[in-house]
Amino acid sequence: MVNWGLTLKGKPKANFRLLGPPGVGKTEICNAFTDYLLGEDKLVRFDMSEYQTLESIYRLLGHNGEEGLLGLNYDRVDGSVTLLFAVFAIKPVGTCGDVKTRLWSGVRVTALVPDLSIKCDESSSCYPWKLAIVATVFWIGETGSGPTNRRSAWDTNWVSNYGGVDDPVRRRGYEPTRFRPFENPFYVALPYCDMVEGLLKPEAAKVVPWFISRFRGPHSSVCKGHWVEIRHGAKICYAQWEDVGPFCTDSAGYVFSDERPVPNVNHGAGIDVSPAVRDCLGLGSLGSVDWRFVEEADVSAGPWSLYANSTL
């Protein structure tokens, strides 16, 4: 296209979007591509996980007549490739709008960097850790003084679909002794629900970071089944998000942002874990854990891999 004169003056000569999990060679392609076309030291990299607020976006793009980092790097490098990586790491900024939307629709990056613009979406190993969160144990089919767990927020037939009650006492390894589960015994509950009366909440598009990639229609949850990494001391476990709790159903500021769990009678618990997670991490009925979201491609192999519920 460049040789044929089909590019527009003042615009990038080409735009590429490279998708895939870490380690498959997206950045290496950019390096080789840049070296071949333009020579060494012509690749300008921006880690988009560093631009989580409007103030940082203004620092990148410029604001009120001041030139941003993109423009400054273009002025500094004569002919360059601009690599924007970890784009999926950009998270919402509240009800006033979405940083990602403002970045790509509010100001045109292509107008600021009229060379080669490459948007490289990394898998989200950049979800932040939630530190020192009180964890409580719950299980499928649990009954008692609190709410029954015979159904989940997203599955009205949770017990039967799982295969039975996930007895927390009578265990064979990470499974209940009486049956082999049909679904992953490594599961958690977090205090946010993206559905109401069988429909996605409108706010879900603003608060759930992976909403676009997981959206399958207004009647399908984008949260159910998402992977979570949990650590307790030196031990690490992976589990899938399968229910809502403890106590709250609307704590988006904690689940997806940097707020702490809402105070509650269980010492401010912010995550419920299954018996399998409890046993894997060596927890008691109460414990302190760190947790974060991860993409399926970032889940390390382990006993949870034998059962993983599909997130598609």
Q: What is the pLDDT of residues 136-172, one digit of tens each?
A: 999 999 987 566 788 999 999 999 999 999 999 999 9
Residues 267 and 149 in one domain: yes
Q: Is residue 139 part of a domain?
A: yes
pTM of the model: 0.62
Residues 114 and 140 in one domain: no
Phi, psi (deg, nearest 5) at residue 250: -135, 30
Q: Is residue 264 part of a domain?
A: yes
Beta bridge partners of 196: 199
Q: Is the pLDDT of residue 1 over 60?
A: no
Q: What is the pLDDT of residues 72-85, one digit of tens each?
A: 665 555 566 777 76
Q: Which residue range forms the structural domain that includes residue 267?
A: 130-306
Going by C-alpha positions, the residue among 62, 276, 309 that lies closest to residue 171 is 276
Contact 186, 300 (CB under 8 A): no
Q: Which two tokens stand for residue 226?
A: 């998402």
Mind giving me the DSSP string for 220-275?
S-SSTT-EEEEEETTEEEEEEEEEE-SS-SB-HHHHTSSPPPPP-TTTT--EEE-H
Q: Which two tokens stand for residue 301?
A: 């192999």
Higher per-residue confidence, 38 vs 205: 205
Domain limit, last residue, from 66, 92, 121: 121
Domain limit, last residue, from 81, 100, 121: 121
Phi, psi (deg, nearest 5) at residue 190: -125, 150
Residues 109 and 147 in one domain: no
Residues 177 and 248 in one domain: yes
Residues 107 and 229 in one domain: no
Give Dmax (Cα) for the chain: 74
Residues 97 and 42 in one domain: yes
Q: Is residue 4 part of a domain?
A: no
Segment 245-253 mean pLDDT: 92
Q: Is the pLDDT of residue 58 over 70?
A: yes
Residues 147 and 108 in one domain: no
Residues 87 and 166 in one domain: no
Residues 143 and 189 in one domain: yes
Block residue for tokens 């409580």? 136
Residues 98 and 209 in one domain: no
Higher per-residue confidence, 235 vs 29: 235
> How far apart (Å, rounded) are the C-alpha atoms in residues 158 and 165?
9
Q: Is residue 6 part of a domain?
A: no
pLDDT of the residue at 99:
45
CATH number, domain containing residue 112: 3.40.50.300
Domain limit, last residue, from 91, 121, 151: 121
pLDDT of the residue at 161:
96
Q: Which two tokens stand for residue 205?
A: 């598009």
Going by C-alpha positions, the residue among 299, 218, 223, 229 that lies closest to residue 256 is 223
CATH number, domain containing residue 188: 2.40.40.10
Structural domain count, the chain: 2
Residues 143 and 106 in one domain: no
Residues 200 and 247 in one domain: yes
Strand locations in 108-264, DSSP E? 116-121, 130-137, 171-172, 175-176, 187-190, 195-196, 199-200, 227-232, 235-244
Q: Is residue 3 part of a domain?
A: no
Higher per-residue confidence, 258 vs 108: 258
Segment 105-125 mean pLDDT: 41
Cβ burial, residue 258 (10 Å; 0-12/13-18/19+) = exposed
pLDDT of the residue at 86:
59
Q: What is the pLDDT of residues 272-289, one digit of tens each?
A: 999 999 999 999 888 999
**Average pLDDT of the chain, as a whole number:** 79
